[in-house]
Structure 1
Amino acid sequence: MKLFTVLSAAVLGGALLVGTASAQEVQERTIRWGHLNNTDHPVSFGVQKFAEILLAKSGGKLKVREFASSQLGNELQQQSALRGGTQEMLSASTTSLATVIPEFGLLDFPFIVNTTDQADALVQGAFGKAMIDALPQRGLVGLGYWGLGFRNVTNSKHPIAKLEDFAGLKLRVIPNPVYLESFSAFKANPIPMAFGELYSALETRTVDGQENPYTVILSNKFFEVQKYVSATGHTFTENIIIVSKIFWDKLSPAEQKMMQEAYNESRAYQKEQTRLQTEKALSELQAKGMTYNAVAPEELERMRKAVQPVVDKISAALKPDTVKLFNAELDRVRKEVK
């Protein structure tokens, strides 16, 4: 837990506050922000940057208290706490939001984007905005997205170099239909499991492997219980920054503006930290003894084709207008962004 008290920023913010909002518009508040990652992860770096900016803007009145490493529960538990008004903020994977708005699951489809910039453009465009606009009906307010990076498979058995290497592997996946059906299509044995239970399951060989961004693999020391890391890059995971609507509605317009601006101003920093830490993480995983392998483009294409029936099936069960918007935005991003 961290309570940020950046005094110099607060003093500067106090001076700026005079010109932007009256004292009555900004009250002393402590904002509890929970997430699953450790404090050495780019998500935590983003939380700290957001907290610093918000403290300055509010003249030291709006303080963020970070609860990292699942201290407030798993993502679904924290999401419920936000909707009930007992927690103020959460940075969670968009995957967990699919439980309340199934169309968020479109972002989990494998092999839809090839680069971080494409992933970023997709959520910053019309589709990403439409999903944020749907949140208030579910008791949540979205400030925007942060990228966690591409997910890659680790396991204790052998490298994943071709589609057939998935066969029979017990892989922990996010409890979500896209992940369960995708890895079933790869002929793996997907095991849905909460993230907090994963290290122990890997250590005891309850599961053979898992899939996550390199930064998550390193931060959670999966290298201690996994031998192989394979660059499947099958999905790009987005975090969404969400606020309890109950809490949001208590804020003055000035406070709401400061919250949104703190996200806007911290986004580029968090994106850069994800890029830097991803590169560093892969090097460190290899230095700590993991065997790394790339996956040939033709094998990635075989994986993409294997999972296409899953994409078609799940798309057919979602709102047609949202699927149409998603596909249109995906086409645009693929043409415009490298």
Structure 2
Amino acid sequence: MNSLSKFRKLAGISAMAFAAMTAANSISAAEWRYAHEEYEGDVQDVFAYKFKEYVEENSEHSVKVYRFGELGESDDIMEQTQAGILNFVNQSPGFTGSLIPEAQIFFIPYLLPTDMDTVVKFFNQSKAINEDFPELYSENGLELLKMYPEGEMVVTLDEKATSPEDFNNKKIRVMTNPLLSETYDAFGATPTPLPWGEVYGALQTNMIQGQENPIFWIESGGLYEVSPNLIFTGHGWFTTAMMANQDFYNGLSDDDKQLVRDASDHAYEEILEHIDGLADEALAKIQEGSDEVTVTRLNEEQIETFRQRAPQVEAKFIEMTGDRGKELLEQFKADLEAVQGE
């Protein structure tokens, strides 16, 4: 066989090997589907795209991200994840609470601090977050990958308020979460569960007089346009969770499981940087966008009048969740005490 023939034969073998390798990669590569509850550029969207970026840079897989409304409301995307239609979902405990009652713990007012450094340390070090919650989610067919904070909760109303008495007769929108309803009942308001898609119109028509959300969401959703009085009550942070359909996750190879974990860790670290200073930026945009906006930051004496009503919500949480919820609450408090004592 002459050299040219040898070369052609080797080239043919190489081409076949390359084709076989490409086919194998095509079979092993997959498009994973990931839905979240927010708009383009919001915190959950940034997290999802950081996750996507890591996966696609470190594997043959791709990730398709669906934003709020593309596949329905929060309840819809959770149902699709549990059914295996979606592989990943980002949903706050505000909605997951109907599925996992213990997840409502984040809505006990004045349980979590509001300074970012302490909040981040808590999420990094908490046994409740990193050990107890994954077990609770697992029981519902979900692989909890990350819980992370988004921002301090801010109340918006149709007029200024500094006390629970100012909340009297105010219909305040809450997520479909029984404990959050208990919180605003304790605060003196009339809690009104509504899906997110109806909130702007309900505020605009005075069907409701207020709502709560992190400040970046109030800005991106334009809520300040129809509910211009912002009240910083200091009662907690908005928390969310990124999870996978457990059957899907368990069916992954060990390498892909590690990839998903590493991508989640990467997105988590990126999001902590992203939210640092985000609230101040969003508030500046709101104030620039409207002359009608007022900002009220309650002082410690005013906060205390709300904080005194928190035990009512704690009692309701334990009533809803029993001994398991009580143990989780004790662990939460122990974790917070450890972090705050550092």
TM-score by length of 2: 0.86
Distance between the aligned counterparts of 1:136 and 1:26, measured in 2? 29
Distance between the aligned counterparts of 2:146 and 2:26, measured in 1? 24
User: SS where residue 148 of structure 1 aligns?
Assistant: strand
Q: Which residue of 1 aligns with 2:11?
A: none
Q: Which residue of 1 aligns with 2:156?
A: 154
Unaligned runs of 5+ residues in structure 1 are: 1-22
Instruction: Between 311-320 and 178-187, report the one with greater CA deviation.
Output: 311-320
Q: Which residue of 1 aligns with 2:88?
A: 89
Distance between the aligned counterparts of 2:338 and 2:141, measured in 1? 35
Unaligned runs of 5+ residues in structure 2 are: 1-23
Q: Where does 1:249-268 land on structure 2 (aligned, <5 Å)?
A: 249-268=250-269
Q: Are the equivalent residues in 1 in contact too, given 2:317–2:325 (CA < 8 A)?
A: no
1:323 aligns to 2:319 (yes or no): no
Q: Displacement, 1:335?
A: 4.4
Paired residues, number: 313
Q: Which residue of 2 aligns with 1:39?
A: 40
Q: Which residue of 2 aligns with 1:12?
A: none
Residue type of the alignment partner of 1:104: A
Distance between the aligned counterparts of 1:56 and 1:145, measured in 2? 23
Residue type of the alignment partner of 2:90: S
Q: Which residue of 2 aligns with 1:127?
A: 128
Which of 312, 315, 325 does residue 312 from structure 1 map onto? 315
Instruction: Between 214-223 and 42-51, report the one with greater CA deviation.
Output: 42-51
Q: Which residue of 2 aligns with 1:333?
A: 336
Percent of aligned positions with the same letter in both sequences?
A: 22
User: SS where residue 73 of structure 1 aligns?
Assistant: coil
Q: Displacement, 1:24?
A: 6.8
Task: Report runs of 4+ in structure 1 exceeding 6 Å deviation.
Answer: 23-26
Q: Which residue of 2 aligns with 1:17?
A: none
Deviations along 1:69-109, whole A, 9 cap, x unmatched?
Answer: 23112222211111111111111102222222211111211
Distance between the aligned counterparts of 1:234 and 1:206, measured in 2? 25
Residue type of the alignment partner of 1:298: E
Q: Which residue of 2 aligns with 1:138?
A: 140
TM-score by length of 1: 0.87
Q: Which residue of 1 aligns with 2:199?
A: 198
Residue type of the alignment partner of 1:273: H
Q: Displacement, 1:324?
A: 2.3
1:28 aligns to 2:29 (yes or no): yes
Q: Which residue of 1 aligns with 2:294?
A: 291
Q: Which residue of 1 aligns with 2:10?
A: none
Distance between the aligned counterparts of 1:248 and 1:174, measured in 2? 28
Q: Are the equivalent residues in 2 in contact too, given 1:155–1:210 (CA < 8 A)?
A: yes
Please identify the structure whose Cα radius of gyration is greater.
2
Q: Are the equivalent residues in 1 in contact too, given 2:36–2:89 (CA < 8 A)?
A: yes
Backbone CA RMSD of aligned residues: 1.9
Q: Displacement, 1:304?
A: 1.2
User: SS where residue 110 of structure 2 aligns?
Assistant: coil
Q: 1:94 to 1:116 in 2, by over 3 A?
A: farther
Q: Displacement, 1:198?
A: 0.8
Q: Which residue of 2 aligns with 1:166?
A: 167
Q: Displacement, 1:336?
A: 2.6
Q: Displacement, 1:213?
A: 0.3
Q: Are the equivalent residues in 1 in contact too, given 2:150–2:239 (CA < 8 A)?
A: yes
Q: Displacement, 1:164?
A: 1.5
Distance between the aligned counterparts of 2:121 and 2:95, measured in 1? 21
Q: Are the equivalent residues in 2 in contact too, given 1:148–1:236 (CA < 8 A)?
A: yes
Residue type of the alignment partner of 1:288: G
